[in-house]
Amino acid sequence: MSNQSLDVTRFFPQGDAVAAAEAASLSRMARGMQGSKILQIAYEVQARIKAGHDVADFTVGDFARSEFRVPDALIEHTAQALKDGHTNYPPADGLAELRQAIVAQAERELGLKYPVDTVVVGSGARPLLYGAYRCLIDAGEKVVYPAPSWNNKNFCHQVGAVDVVVPTTPESNFMPDVKALEDALPGARMLVLCSPGNPTGTMIREAAMREIGEYIVAENAARKARGERLLYLVYDQVYRNLTFGDFSHVTPVGVVPAMAEYTLFVDAISKCFAATGLRVGWMYGPPHVARQVKALMTHMGAWAPRPEQVATAKLLNDAPAMKAYLEHHLGGIHARLDALSRGLTAMKAEGLPVVAIEPEGAIYLSVRFDLLGRGGLNTEDAVRQYLLEKAGVAVVPFSAFGDSKNRNWWRFSVGAVSVAQIEACLPRLREALRSVM
């Protein structure tokens, strides 16, 4: 055997041959699939930072280690679990002690008593959201979701669903009400909502949630009478512990109890404990749906690592430790959102073309820059590049979240910046806005 290594590059299609190879090789789904626009922008920004540019990075919904740390207890329990030999496969639906801790937390914090067999644990919320799509939706069936929202268009593509996008407005806090949904929901199989919202940082109100829940219950009663397939609500509440001021998290089952039959909750430690890389999420809902999501997990292998499951169970069962951490964590997030909101509101008062919506929850601020058509900025990407290069401010447009109506709106995510970085970038942003007036 030769000691010379084999360069296999010559066996791969190059240039004009790539398109033909893709057509001959990839599935229809894969050929139409697009990578995350959010991550594409974030990687570009990270490259700019590594090149030495001063950039306040508001792009990714993640946390910088220098700014936000996971709870010490989570680190200690994970390390101990590794030492104790928890390094083999977990059950496909999650460790029993973690599922018990999840239902105990739901009862303690949300007033909802769910059986343990309704819970499925996964490697973060993402595979469980995909699991809901895969287990409920057949190709050609309708999925309804508001815009802007996170990743629903891509999930629809992956399962062959017909996606029905419901526009929202700043006046409605970028949340849909039943009037906005009633034309879209007939014949639909799934409605997907997230509150507090990504990318908006706004929350659905109790009255709106009640009307939506009552509509779904009545709709499903009629469908049952006609022998038709049912409408489900997937409710993403991964930011539920991150709310500010007088704003309170509400759940569909909490305001319309009969919605328990039709609601799949999705939650995780990723945002409320700054633990995006530890990959522990969960879903609970009707047991006949949960069983099939569990079955899917046996094939996907998308379960959370066993040591992190052990640690998460211990943390969720320690209410005082959770409370102490969340008070500190929420304070840091709110300080950043408040500094950003106050700075942008001051710019608006000066007559500059910017509007910021008061932060209500999550780690995001919704901001409008009326820059299109000014100073030669004729495209959204030109505006993004201008803010990045002129002000050192990196943001993501609402169009990356499936929103084609709310032009000029941008998401600011504050998990990777300090208050000092925010205060330093505001004068640069003010000058950039003045320059195009």
Check whether residue 149 and residue 83 sit in a common domain: yes
Counting the structural domains of the chain, the total is 2
Same domain, 347 and 232: no
Mean pLDDT (whole number) for 307-311: 98
Residue 235 sits in the same domain as residue 131 = yes
User: Does one domain contain both 402 and 260?
Assistant: no
Range of the domain at 353: 30-68+324-435
| Mean predicted confidence (pLDDT) in 266-286 | 97
**The token pair that represents 6 in the structure block:** 């084999």
Confidence of residue 371 (pLDDT cuts 50, 70, 90): very high
Mean pLDDT (whole number) for 143-162? 96
Do 174 and 281 lie in one domain? The reply is yes
Angle between helices 319-349 and 306-316 (to 10 degrees): 90
Domain boundary at 318, 342, 364, which? 318
pLDDT at residue 1, rounded to an integer: 58
Whether the per-residue pLDDT at 37 is higher than 90: the answer is no
Last residue of a domain, one of 277, 295, 318: 318
Q: Confidence band (pLDDT; 50, 70, 90) for 94?
A: very high
- Classify residue 237 as exposed, middle or buried by CB count within 10 Å of its CB (0-12, 13-18, 19+): buried
Domain CATH for 378: 3.90.1150.10
pLDDT tens digit string along 229-244? 999 999 999 999 999 9
- Which residue type occupies 272? C
Residue 45: pLDDT above 70? yes
Domain check: are 134 and 277 in the same one? yes
Write down the pLDDT at residue 35.
Answer: 87
- Rounded distance between C-alpha atoms, residue 288 and residue 315, angstroms: 28
Same domain, 230 and 336: no
Same domain, 283 and 379: no
- At residue 4, the pLDDT reads 86
Same domain for 169 and 240? yes
- Are the C-beta atoms of 360 and 198 separated by less than 8 Å? no
Q: What is the pLDDT of residue 2?
A: 64
Tokens of 237: 């509440």
Judgement on whether residues 192 and 250 belong to the same structural domain of the protein: yes
Q: How far apart are CA 191 and CA 143, in angstroms?
A: 6
Phi-psi region of 402 (alpha: psi -120 to 50; beta: other; left: phi over 0): left
Residue that terminates a domain, selected from 318, 343, 374: 318
Same domain? For 221 and 358 the reply is: no
Check whether residue 211 and residue 82 sit in a common domain. Answer: yes
pLDDT at 331 over 70: yes
How does residue 3 score in pLDDT terms, banded at 50, 70 and 90?
A: confident
